[in-house]
Each structure stands twice: as structure tokens, then as C-alpha cells.
Amino acid sequence: MPDLIRNDAVGGMTENVTGEIKNPLAGIPHGQLMANVTAYATEYGLEDILPLLKKGAMVAQSPAGIEGISELDDDDRRVLYEEHIRRWKHPFALYYTIVLNSISAAIRGWDQTGSNGANLTFDVQFGIPNNSPQCPDPETCKRNQWIVGFINATPYITICLLRVIFLFYIQVIF
């Protein structure tokens, strides 16, 4: 029976034409909700945090009505209020990681764009041709392919090494 209720809730969400997400926990009686949470905690070995899961389910069922949930203490309400008011209050390390990954992605995009265009001519211009018309000796062509491949891989190798260095210092600092 619980699977049928869940399937109906999921089915209702897929028929949503307005784009507004409906709360799948809304309308489930309190006793049934707590039984579902207990069954979930038992199934996945989470009995040690069962009280927190129950509080979370009650808040998820009625996010606007946290004042009426008697199981929440003042500290729980304060934390939920802070989370609602200060959405962007996160650790510095999170923002630092996001900035570094963004810079890395931008560099990678530039490198891929540059490599794709440069690969058309740079090997011949620098005297390391790796194609048959410009490279008559097969052994030289094989060696030149490795050289061209290493040149193309150098930005990625550099980013990898810099990331390792930055992560080491981040771990030391934090």
C-alpha cells in the first residue's frame, strides 16, 4: 500500500502542467509518515539518527508550519530560520572550490579551442610533422605523434599538478 501511495504522488508530479512542484509528503497522515520514516531507517540501518529523520520528514511535509511542530525545539527552529534567511552562508572553502573549478573549466575550454585550431598547422610549422605527406619516415612520424600529443596534453598535465598543489595547501589551511 505505501508503494501505491508513493506511485500516485510521483504520477501526480509528472502530470503537472504549471511547472510548480507539489510536495509529495503533503496529505500523508502523521502516523503513516512516521511509520514510513521508521521503515526507511530500519531498511537502511539509520536507526541511530531516526529522531532527526522524523523531524526532517515533519519539516519537509509542512515547511511553512515549523512553529506548529511540537517535536522541534527552539534550537531546531533557529537553525531552520537561519537556513531560510541566509541562503548564501556557506564555508569559505566551498566558494574557494567553486571558483577554482570554474577557472579550471574556463582554462580547459580555451585550451581545447586553441588546440583544435592549432593542431591543423603547428606541427608542420615547428618541424614535427606527424602525417605522411610532410613526414616521409614512419619512425619519425611515430615519434612526432608522441611529441604533438604531449604538447596537446601539457595544459591538462599542468592543471592537474596545480590542482594537487592547491588541494595540498587547502588541506593544510583548513
Domain positions in the chain: 2-86, 92-173
**Contact status, residue 23 vs residue 12, Cβ threshold 8 Å:** no
For residue 154, pLDDT over 80 is answered with: yes
132 close to 141: Cβ distance less than 8 angstroms:
yes
How far apart CA 67 and CA 63 sit, in angstroms, is 10
What would the pLDDT profile of 21-32 be if each residue is shown by its tens digit?
788 888 899 999
The per-residue pLDDT for 7 is 59
Q: 11: part of which helix (H) or strand (E)?
A: helix 2-14
Q: What is the pLDDT of residues 67-103, one digit of tens each?
A: 888 888 999 999 888 888 887 888 899 999 999 999 9
Q: How far apart are CA 120 and CA 152, in angstroms?
A: 12
**pLDDT at residue 52 tops 90:** yes
CA angle 48-54-60, nearest 5°?
Answer: 135
Tell whether the model's pLDDT for residue 6 goes beyond 70: no
- pTM of the shown model: 0.49
Contact 135, 144 (CB under 8 A): yes
**Between 18 and 1, the higher pLDDT residue:** 18
CA-based nearest residue to 101, from 15, 27, 166: 166
Q: For the chain, what is the mean pLDDT?
A: 84
